[in-house]
Amino acid sequence: MIIAEGIYSMDGDTCDLSRLIELKKRHKTLLMIDEAHSIGVLGPQGRGIGHHFPGVDPNDVDVWMGTLSKSFASCGGYIAGSSALVRYLKYTAPGFVYSAGLPPPNAAAALKSLELMQAEPEVVEQLRQRSRFFLDCLRTRGIDTGDAIGAAVVPAIIGNSLECLKLSEALAGRGINVQPIVYPAVEDDAARLRFFISALHSEAQLQQTADAVREELARIRGDGSRPEVSL
């Protein structure tokens, strides 16, 4: 089985879905896509990466998986696929056989989010626009954003775990909540802050945040505290 993420949670870039489909057909294997970060973000009405690339048939992906805890503002997850796969999982997956399934309030909250995305696709478009805006804000301030395409997940690659922790704390002091991703989740020289952008972030907030990243990083690096030993 080939398993990939729709939007990669650490880098904010996408997989090349057409090539993965080509690969899975060539090797007669199965393809599973984790849409935790791409459902509600990519494609018209936030339908996900299966609707993002022209010419891709979502039926060519055998297992679609996602969480309800991000764009759907709920808790729990889903697996989608052919009716044979869904029937198989209903009879064998522990969530159905041994323990309680998804509580109705969580299912209702996720369903409402889905309905809102269908009714108000402009909100999804605004999320992408704001994400690209923030990506540009960081880039123009000389911050390394790696391969990010500007779709909800935007990393600021700091390149040192200790500096990254200090920066996250300094930004919290300025009212900005962004969590550090440090070694061993990523290589020490790829330690980063991972920003999650929402459609409700204003351009002014995003600009101020990018300014704060640049200022605090300069302060941390300039005050002689650059660590000699990395984590």
Which residues contribute to the site for ligand PLP (CB under 6 A)? 5, 9, 34, 36, 67, 69, 77
Query: Measured between alpha carbons, how far is 42 from 124 in angstroms, rounded to an integer?
Result: 8
Min dist CB 66 to ligand PLP, Å, is: 8
Rg of the Cα trace of the chain?
20
Position of tokens 């009212």? 175
Nearer to ligand PLP, 34 or 163 (CB): 34
Question: How far is residue 214 from each of residues 94, 134, 184, measured CA to CA in Å?
Answer: 47, 13, 25
For residue 99, count CB atoms less than 10 angstroms from its CB and return exposed for 0-12, middle for 13-18, buried for 19 or more.
exposed
Burial of 207 (0-12, 13-18, 19+ CB in 10 A): middle
CB of 68 to ligand PLP, least distance (A): 7
Residue 9 CB, nearest approach to ligand PLP (Å): 4
Closest to ligand PLP by CB, 9 or 113:
9
Identify which of residues 66 and 150 has a Cβ nearer to ligand PLP in the complex.
66
Tokens linked to 98: 């041994």
We find the least distance from the C-beta atom of residue 76 to ligand PLP, in angstroms, to be 7
How far apart (Å, rounded) are the C-alpha atoms in residues 52 and 125?
12
Instruction: Pick the closer one to ligand PLP by CB: 102 or 116.
Output: 102
List C-alpha distances in Å: 46 to 120, 135, 149, 207: 10, 19, 16, 25
Residue 85 tokens read as 């796969």
Measured from the CB atom, is 11 or 34 closer to ligand PLP? 34
Q: How far is the CB of 14 from ligand PLP (least distance, A)?
A: 13
Indicate the residue among 37 and 128 with the shorter CB distance to ligand PLP. 37
Smallest distance from the beta carbon of 98 to ligand PLP, in angstroms? 19
